[in-house]
Chain A
């Protein structure tokens, strides 16, 4: 099966993602035909610039939790005994993974957006539909042209969806507020099945990791730019009749965020409320305000996040890395009834990064570029195979750490060189939590 090969993702482990989209869980290992003729080892001992990648997961030798599981099962536990089912921002998912927002950006438009919706639905993965889809692609079937209208994506997702899992999360930008996206959906018979089963959520977007402090950006041809110019800022920056379209980032204060969340809960009491934050220096304050105001989930997109169009200087120079966000959030008080509903995204595609994020306090991780590449590789099964492999790795990792649920992971399961040299020794006392 060869894919369309339409997309590329420089700086992202594209080849590895495509390999998984082709081979599924088998891709957790090198190609079997190379066995016996290739010597394997880590590519580099030097930690890279990415804090999460530089960390290691450190299983203890003594495992109280495994003994509990052994007693429970009456036999030795294996990795297949790890139950990955997770509650993500009020939605149920078969593993601690969701598909993060892909909005009006061209890479996620048209058939790709629909194929992604179908596969995510079939897997029961919660899926975020990004901002500006309605002003750009339209709302109702047939109005979206090449972009794919919002309802088309929703329908494609819903038709493939298994009972009791998944859900669709719809962003609304400042420009979307003019189009009343949430209002339209909340009383649309086409969304009633999701709403009635508690599987519709609305996401308030404060920004994204690839361009902290900026609004959504896309590139349009001149004809589209003329159509949208009254609602978005447009600049004829590029040669060949193409135009940069910039949405406004929106103005927030703690009080504006608090009140917008309360208004969402007031106006849409049957929908879940998600909030997406860019990795700003006050990310811990923003998460606290959002949770206190009643958000069902707060998603933090690290500076490693991608997918959409972004200026190079923002990718290089702006925003906190996800590892630093998790570090700053670790100090937040955890609600007594379960964890902080924290979701994270940024270069997620395999089990290690996801497991480290969970250990550092996240409830789930979002796939952005990886999901699009997988669908690009195989529009029918690419995402399924990628997620199979990720789930397989998560089971291996979580059981290796002597745990059998994602929520059982904790900071002791992660080792960082920086913390170790500073005299902190996480992981030294086995399973002390």
Chain B
């Protein structure tokens, strides 16, 4: 076969397309770099030990975000404690026990839809249901229960997907030795999908960390320094909500950018964790 040189028009076309792609990539990359760089440059100089270790006080004249850091930790803990058993339990039931595949399909569809709903709607419903109807007032507890509903589909679906990857032959082997259903699930199936559960967990943490709309409605804006249990029953702002409050209502942009920088670093850390966990389990399972 003879090699003909490409016609000039075709060459020009390829060149233009390649350039356009380069420009897209450059814009996308530059935007990310600019955003991250801007936040870090404006934020990091404002992160001081005082900021991290005090609460806002008009008497002492301090502005500190320790209460917000703690509130964030509390809300993550409270949400995970409720959502993990619920989500993993639901996933186990749907994958291992449920007989009626039609209903399973409907529930899966509902869960997928649920995870696509804008979070402010969760906030509205959470406020009406938890804060008012259940009389929890505006509190971290109401906030974390709202986040439970938001994260339930994620945890359930990631667990389900990873339950499905456990080979049927493991189950057969265990049943063949006379193991009962629950023992098979506990000793053979669940250990095989820990990676999925952990990944779901980390994704949920990332989502909670970044959530503000739903919490504006349900968890409130307070900056009081509380212990875990007092904290749950009282109102409190997480880091993202505090970011909003400082920037929008108090005009403290230095603090807002400090919080933004912290959140950015935390998000990167969470994503890194997810990647590392995935890698760890992949290596462990492929010995």
A is bound by B: no
Please list the residues of chain B having a beta carbon within 8 angstroms of any beta carbon in chain A: none
Binding site for B on A (CB under 8 A): none
